[in-house]
Amino acid sequence: MRHVLRRIGLAGITVLLVMAVLAAMTSLVPGEPARVILGPRASPELIERVREEMHLDDPIPVQIWIFSTNALRGDLGKDFVNGIPVRDLVANALSGTVALALASMVLGVVFGVGLGVISAARAGSLFDRAVGVFSITLLSVPSYVIGLLLLLFLSVAHQWLPASGAGSIEDPADWLSRLAMPTIALAVGWGGYLARLTRASMLDVLASEHVRAARALGLPNRTIWYRYALRNAITPIIAFLGVGAGWLLSGAVVVELIFNRPGLGRLMVDAVGSRNYTIVRGCTLVIAIIVIAANLIADLMLRLNDPRIDLQGSGRS
């Protein structure tokens, strides 16, 4: 429990630091933020009102305090162009990005871990070498290239899947068909890395003393692989899941643009194009919180899977 509370406290401090940086960056960007948001034709009175609402005339420490306290209450400001609270815009876009990221994570884990385990079981074989080449190829191809190839083949050439949009969850078949290509485009590179990581981790565990002892006792290979080897080999995979959350979210920005899907990436890119700093700041904060939470969950799962890590962490404290 002490370790859990310490990790939660460090995660909270990291979120506060992110808030402070985001609040300070608004005053440090080149130009006049209020004038950039409203455009060159805005009246001086309107610019001054926006400056007051954004607290641009206050010292930077005061801006950091106001933004942080408001964000902790769920107030991320408002879109000064349309007058819509940023919280509502982010909430509407978040579901699409989370669905895409989770689907890509599940597909990447199933594909990568499964391929890595089979490759480790046949280490040195032709299949193993083919999987190695295939995994490295997937790692080398960016997600947007895979997305464009899927669009050309599955939508333009054969019209098997819809090319754009997200559909509605009320029509599950249409919703899943529109989710399929973005998920594959985002998951294949991640799955290729997981395949290599799983293979290396499995081979390392299979060469350990406790696995050799289990074999000497005559335990079945299935028991050795899934009860002893895979459970220990999965530790670096869990650690990678936390880091991979940031990878998936950054890749989702490009994938959402290619497939014209509503989400945080699309919202952020549109806000950057219109210099709408409040939306950019709110989206960045939400993405940072998701990444920090994913790393926290992965860290706690590591200690749940291997209690020795928890004991070592407690010993250092």
Residue among 17, 98, 81, 23 nearest 281 (CA): 23
Lowest mean pLDDT among 155-159, 246-250, 303-307, 310-314: 310-314
Q: Higher confidence at residue 118 or residue 249?
A: 118
In a domain, 233, yes or no: yes
Residue among 107, 93, 95 nearest 183 (CA): 107
> Do 118 and 64 have their domain in common?
no
Q: How far apart are CA 77 and CA 247, in angstroms?
A: 27
**Average of per-residue pLDDT across 164-183:** 82
306 confidence band (pLDDT: 50, 70, 90): low
- Which residues, listed in sequence order, are joined to residue 78 by a DSSP beta bridge? 85
In a domain, 254, yes or no: yes
In a domain, 302, yes or no: no
Contact indicator for 202, 117 with CB cutoff of 8 Å? yes
> Do 251 and 185 have their domain in common?
yes
> Do 110 and 168 have their domain in common?
yes
Single pTM value for the model: 0.77
Which residues does 135 contact at the CB level (< 8 Å), separation at least 6? 115, 192, 193, 195, 196
How many alpha carbons fall within 13 Å on the CB side of residue 304?
Answer: 9
Contact indicator for 76, 278 with CB cutoff of 8 Å? yes
Return phi, psi of residue 22, to 5°.
-65, -40
In a domain, 78, yes or no: no
Asked which of 27, 47, 72 is the last residue of a domain, the reply is 72
pLDDT at 112: 86
Query: Percentage helix, strand, coil, to 5, in the chain?
Result: 80, 0, 20
pLDDT at 312: 45
Residue among 156, 137, 136, 140 nearest 148 (CA): 156
> Do 65 and 160 have their domain in common?
no
The C-alpha torsion from 177 through 257 and 101 to 137, rounded to 10°, is 90
Return phi, psi of residue 14, to 5°.
-65, -40
In a domain, 282, yes or no: no
The one-letter amino acid at 216: A
Which residues does 255 contact at the CB level (< 8 Å), separation at least 6? 100, 143, 144, 147, 182, 185, 186, 261, 265
Asked which of 238, 254, 274 is the last residue of a domain, the reply is 274
> Do 260 and 140 have their domain in common?
yes
> Do 147 and 224 have their domain in common?
yes
Domain count, the chain: 2
> Do 206 and 113 have their domain in common?
yes
pLDDT tens for 201-247 read: 888 887 777 777 777 777 777 777 777 777 777 777 877 777 777 77
State how far Cα 279 lies from the chain centre. Answer: 19
Which residues does 213 contact at the CB level (< 8 Å), separation at least 6? none
pLDDT at 30: 62
pLDDT at 124: 80
Ramachandran region, residue 30 (left: φ > 0; alpha: ψ -120 to 50; beta: rest):
beta
Asked which of 46, 72, 98 is the last residue of a domain, the reply is 72
In a domain, 283, yes or no: no
Contact indicator for 131, 195 with CB cutoff of 8 Å? yes
> Do 55 and 111 have their domain in common?
no
pLDDT at 313: 46
**Average of per-residue pLDDT across 77-98:** 83
SS3 label, residue 91: helix
In a domain, 315, yes or no: no
> Do 43 and 135 have their domain in common?
no
> Do 17 and 164 have their domain in common?
no
SS3 label, residue 55: coil
Q: What is the mean pLDDT of the chain?
A: 79
Quote the domain boundaries for residue 173. Answer: 106-274
| Four-residue CA torsion sign, 122, 128, 132, 135 | negative
Which structure tokens are listed for 167?
């559909």
In a domain, 263, yes or no: yes
The C-alpha torsion from 178 through 181 and 183 to 189, rounded to 10°, is -170
Contact indicator for 256, 263 with CB cutoff of 8 Å? yes
pLDDT at 175: 82
> Do 61 and 112 have their domain in common?
no
> Do 156 and 233 have their domain in common?
yes
CATH of residue 113? 1.10.3720.10
**Average of per-residue pLDDT across 111-130:** 85
